[in-house]
Amino acid sequence: MNEWETVIGLEIHAQLATASKIFSAASTQYGAEPNRHACVVDLGMPGVLPVLNRAAVNMAIRFGVAIGAEIGHESVFARKNYFYPDLPKGYQISQFEFPIVGRGQISISLDEQNRKQIGITRAHLEEDAGKSIHDQFPAQSGIDLNRAGTPLLEIVSEPDMRSAKEAVAYARKIHSLVRYLEICDGNMQEGSFRCDANVSVRRKGDEKLGTRAELKNINSFRFIERAINYEVERQIDLIEDGGSVVQETRLYDSERDETRSMRSKEEANDYRYFPDPDLLPVVVTAKDIERIRAALPELPEQKQQRYISEYGLSNDNAELLVANRDTALYFEAACNNSAAPVAQLANWILGDLAGALNKSGLEISDSPVSAEMLALLVERIADNTISGKIAKQVFEAMWQGEGDPDAIIEARGLKQITDSGAIELLIDEVIAANPEQVEQFRAGKDKVLGFFVGQIMKQSQGKANPGQVNAILREKLKH
């Protein structure tokens, strides 16, 4: 394996979050009954003409500005000609020679120390195709054209990735960015964010790229990794057995965890691109670009820096918080108007909350514990109402929907014991019951202290303030 190098480039199709389609005024809403959102333009009826949606253009520019790319001053729509039943006009309106977004780049982090720049070749606007449904009729396919004409931004990377992990990191980064920019909802299940991977292998040190296969139909980050790893192994085995890789399109089958050749798409890939005579060049002025740049939302890297400088968060925590826009929004909502220490809030969000969400398969936007409630909980730790340990119990109850932290603390009687008299009593009892351990401590065995703290906390059902317990205990044991 070691003498092989993997080369990966990704083509990401992000559906732009417009209300209407790129060239028609039909709705882009997902999930309607078949063909209810397909108007005359989407159906490719004779005589209809496309008119370009301003929002789609602006979203593409927003993306380009965010990755520091050149924006095409005059971009041109071209027709990509091929016959397929989910392509009503027999051509897809796309961009070819003159895309709206030119060369840019994005940085991904591989681990704590290593970052890598991934080149973005281009991003262009195009229309989505409809859907073919194969399981509804015995010998026929059904065609639903609701999706036809939904605006897509196709983001094409350079073949800069060298492992499936890098490819996933890049895909996640783009996913996060398009959501920050509010140009795509990122829903992979519904196909709003789709990935094709161009994968090839070569012997280490080779200059020339190997023959690539294009993997299609990868609809989750997990599958990106699996599909690529499967394909890399397949290609290496093939070459090592004396065969050679053919350039082709391969479909990833997540159920069998394998890729297989899509012969039907193979033959006629002479797309006969030419400028669409129904559309004119799209002119973007420097002023347009400036206006869009000025209106950009705070991007993940800027947020990360701000979290470090403004809140004093560690770089790692800041990066984890901004990786997902919803997490960052949650964090910011929690910080807002709260006296809770920010570092602790971050730990709770990235620790207990993330764990609970992960366990129940929920997104942070669907969290049963709101940002405000979590902030309140952390405040109660900070003001010594409860200990960190008790807080975990309270959190659990909040997760179960038992109400706000104060009500739970009250109802369950979880309030921390801070009355030093009460704590002294507890300590006295424990000391009296364990003379042997007292002797050991006095003989210099410091470790026994932990035993006493444990006993005292147990007696107090965890409510005794641990700081106070420690201080008073040490004092008493000395004498």
Partner 1 sequence: MARSITEIRDGLTQGKYSSVEITQDYLDRIEQHNPALNCFISVTPEIALQQAGEADRAIADGNIQALTGVPLAHKDLFCTDGVRTSCGSRILDNFVAPYDATVIENFKKAGAVMLGKTNMDEFAMGSSNENSYYGNVANPWDLNRVPGGSSGGSAAVIAAGLAPGSTGTDTGGSIRQPAALCGVTGIKPTYGRVSRYGMVAFASSLDQAGPFAQSAEDCALLLQTMAGFDRRDSTSAEESVPDFSADLNHPIEGLKIGLPKEYFGDGLDSQLAATIEAAITELRKLGAEFCDISLPNANLSIPVYYVIAMAECSSNLSRFDGVRFGHRCDNPRDLEDLYKRSRGEGFGDEVKRRIMIGTYALSAGYYDAYYLKAQQLRRMIKDDYQKAFTEVDLILGPTTPEVAFAIGAKTDDPVSMYLQDIYTISLNLAGLPGISLPVGFVDSMPVGMQLIGNYFDEARLLNTAHCYQQVSDWHLQRPQAFA
Partner 2 sequence: MALKPGDLRNIAHLARLHIEDDSIDRYADDLSSILELVDQMNRVDSSGVKPLANPLDATQRLRDDEVTEIDEREKFQQLAPDVEQGLYRVPRVIE
Give the three-class secondary structure for 91: strand
3-state secondary structure 386-449: CCHHHHHHHHHHHHCCCCCHHHHHHHHCCCCECCHHHHHHHHHHHHHHCHHHHHHHHCCCCCHH
77 within 8 A of 278, measured Cβ to Cβ: no
Interacting residues of 426 by C-beta distance below 8 A, sequence separation 6+: 417, 456, 459, 460, 464, 469
Stretch that binds partner 2, among 61-69, 264-272, 295-303, 363-371 (CB under 8 A): 264-272
Among 270, 358, 413, 479, binds partner 1 (CB under 8 A): 270
CB of 41 to partner 1, least distance (A): 9
How big is the site for partner 2, counted in residues (CB under 8 A)? Answer: 56
Any contact of residue 56 with partner 2 (CB under 8 A)? yes
Choosing among partner 2, partner 1, none, which partner's interface includes residue 89 (Cβ < 5 to 8 Å by kind)?
partner 1
Rounded to an integer, what distance in angstroms lies between the CA atom of residue 248 and that of residue 243? 15
> Is the alpha carbon torsion for 307, 313, 314, 320 positive or negative?
negative
Any contact of residue 236 with partner 1 (CB under 8 A)? no
User: Residue 93 or 364: which CB sits closer to partner 1?
Assistant: 93
User: Residue 277 or 413: which CB sits closer to partner 1?
Assistant: 277
**Residues 58-87, mask of contacts with partner 1 (x by CB under 8 A):** ---------------------x-x-x-x--
Rounded to an integer, what distance in angstroms lies between the CA atom of residue 398 and that of residue 404? 6
Where do the DSSP E strands lie in 325-372? none
Any contact of residue 33 with partner 2 (CB under 8 A)? yes
Rounded to an integer, what distance in angstroms lies between the CA atom of residue 268 and that of residue 266? 6
Any contact of residue 295 with partner 2 (CB under 8 A)? no
Among 246, 280, 407, 411, binds partner 2 (CB under 8 A): 280
**Residues 71-110, mask of contacts with partner 2 (x by CB under 8 A):** ---x-x------xxx-------------------------
Choosing among partner 1, partner 2, none, which partner's interface includes residue 70 (Cβ < 5 to 8 Å by kind)?
none
Any contact of residue 280 with partner 1 (CB under 8 A)? yes
Any contact of residue 436 with partner 2 (CB under 8 A)? no
Any contact of residue 134 with partner 2 (CB under 8 A)? yes
CA atoms within 13 A on the CB side of 441: 20
Any contact of residue 283 with partner 1 (CB under 8 A)? no
Any contact of residue 333 with partner 2 (CB under 8 A)? no
Where do the DSSP E strands lie in 58-114? 74-75, 77-81, 91-95, 104-109
Residue among 9, 46, 40 nearest 25 (CA) = 40
DSSP annotation of 279 reads: S
What are the beta bridge partners of residue 101? 71, 123
Any contact of residue 141 with partner 2 (CB under 8 A)? yes
Any contact of residue 26 with partner 2 (CB under 8 A)? yes
Any contact of residue 380 with partner 1 (CB under 8 A)? no
Any contact of residue 182 with partner 2 (CB under 8 A)? no
Choosing among partner 2, partner 1, none, which partner's interface includes residue 46 (Cβ < 5 to 8 Å by kind)?
partner 1
Rounded to an integer, what distance in angstroms lies between the CA atom of residue 8 and that of residue 231? 11
Any contact of residue 279 with partner 1 (CB under 8 A)? yes
Residue among 246, 245, 173, 249 nearest 218 (CA) = 249
322 within 8 A of 305, measured Cβ to Cβ: no
CB of 101 to partner 2, least distance (A): 16
CB of 260 to partner 1, least distance (A): 20
Q: Which residues bind partner 1 (CB under 8 A)?
A: 40, 43-52, 79, 81, 83, 85, 88-91, 143, 270, 272-274, 277-280
